Amino acid sequence: MKHFVVGVDVGGTNVKLGVVDGRAQVLARSAFSTKEYIQSPSRLIMAISRAVIELCKVADIPRKDVQGVGIGLPGLVDVQAGVIRVLPNIPGWKDVPLKKVLEGKLGLPVQVENDVNMITLGEWQYGAGKGIQNLICMTLGTGVGAGLILNNDIYRGPGFAAGEIGHAPLNEDGPACGCGGYGCYERYVGNKTLQKWAAEVFDQKDVTLEEVSRRAMQGKKKALRFWQEVGEKVGVGLVGPVNILNPECIIIGGGVSRSFEFIAPAVRKVIARRAMRTQADMVKVIRARLDDDAGLIGAKVLIHHEKN
């Protein structure tokens, strides 16, 4: 019986793999450094292919029991054509027909997806968004992005580019963003900005956000105040998406979600104050539940979801 899916989560730093069973449990994992294979798409594809075969061996799962391989990548992914259009942080990837190439190498069905959408699929079906038909699944890290579940289906947009809440402007005259826009949400709550902000607040150049979280956990007021102010900014940027999409919930994942408990009250308060009545009353702000496994489990959803 084809019970298993192999999930592959390609990041700028690591490629993580996992075998996911019928109950969405990750049975076996592996990982390798992206950098060693970054010279060309074909080298990275070869490494992924080898790692999939290796992981199945280690997990003692025969190929005939593998339903498919789901791969999430950080960039613009044409899910229908199976083609990676561009990966901003991994050079050389331009219109790579990854689905076809990997299916040839592996002899297994392959689906490709944007990494944030793959996380969204996982959280929607097996995590914080279980049973919810309309949600925004947000990742708060170096990048600020989101996957959208609307009318009980993933909404990717006709160019597979939907969900870029990090590039909705908060201030039309705000700082320039790498995307070409001005005052993008990501410029206010992306990790780089938060780190600079923390360095100023604590007058300590190398303070990490993890350290600020530890201090908040110890009840240190300055750290608690810092996260509260971060939460306020996060909340301000959610008012637009909440008013436009009227979601039932916003799932917050990504690195900053480790400090979820410190930011959530402020996020909720700002939405309650600034968003429209119906939308504000309805939306719940919750923490992602699957953490680092969300993408791997999302691969299972992807394979079941796309039947081509």
Q: Which alpha helices (DSSP H) does 25-135 contain, by range?
A: 41-58, 98-106, 115-126
CB of 296 to its own copies, least distance (A): 26
Q: Which of 63, 94, 204, 244 binds its own copies (CB under 8 A)?
A: 244
Q: Which residue has the tokens 């009227």?
A: 246
CB 302 within 8 A of CB 121: yes
CB of 242 to its own copies, least distance (A): 9
Q: Does 81 bind its own copies (CB under 8 A)?
A: no
DSSP 308: -
Please provide the DSSP assignment of 211-225 as one string.
HHHHHHHTT-HHHHH
123 Rama class: left (phi>0) / alpha (psi -120 to 50) / beta: alpha
Q: Which of 141, 181, 190, 295 binds its own copies (CB under 8 A)?
A: 181
Q: Does 180 bind its own copies (CB under 8 A)?
A: yes
254 Rama class: left (phi>0) / alpha (psi -120 to 50) / beta: left
Instruction: Give the binding range for its own copies (CB under 8 A) out of 3-11, 97-105, 159-167, 214-222.
Output: 159-167
Q: Does 308 bind its own copies (CB under 8 A)?
A: no
Q: Does 167 bind its own copies (CB under 8 A)?
A: yes
CB-nearer residue toward its own copies: 58 or 272: 272
| Dihedral sign from CA coordinates of 25, 20, 302, 41 | positive
Using CB under 8 A as the binding rule, the residues of this chain from 95 to 154 that contact its own copies are: 133-134, 146, 148, 150-151, 153
CB of 282 to its own copies, least distance (A): 5
CB 285 within 8 A of CB 264: yes
Contact pattern from residue 209 through residue 238 relative to its own copies, giving x for each residue in contact according to CB under 8 A and a dash for the rest: ---------------------------x--
CB of 202 to its own copies, least distance (A): 25
Contact pattern from residue 7 through residue 46 relative to its own copies, giving x for each residue in contact according to CB under 8 A and a dash for the rest: ----------------------------------------
Q: Does 58 bind its own copies (CB under 8 A)?
A: no
For residue 42, which amino acid is it? S
Q: Does 202 bind its own copies (CB under 8 A)?
A: no
Q: Which of 25, 179, 204, 292 binds its own copies (CB under 8 A)?
A: 179
Instruction: Return all residues near 111 (Cβ < 8 A) that are at least 6 apart.
Output: 68, 69, 70, 71, 79, 82, 99, 299, 302, 303, 306
Instruction: Give the binding range for its own copies (CB under 8 A) out of 24-32, 57-65, 202-210, 274-282.
Output: 274-282
CB of 77 to its own copies, least distance (A): 11
Residue of 156, 131, 119, 136 lying closest to 245 (CA atoms): 136
Residues 87, 89, 92, CA angle at the centre, nearest 5°? 60
Compute the distance between CA of residue 6 and CA of residue 192 in angstroms, rounded to an integer.
Answer: 33
Give the interface with its own copies as residue ranges (CB under 8 A).
76, 85, 133-134, 146, 148, 150-151, 153, 155-165, 167-173, 179-182, 236, 239-241, 243-248, 273-279, 281-282
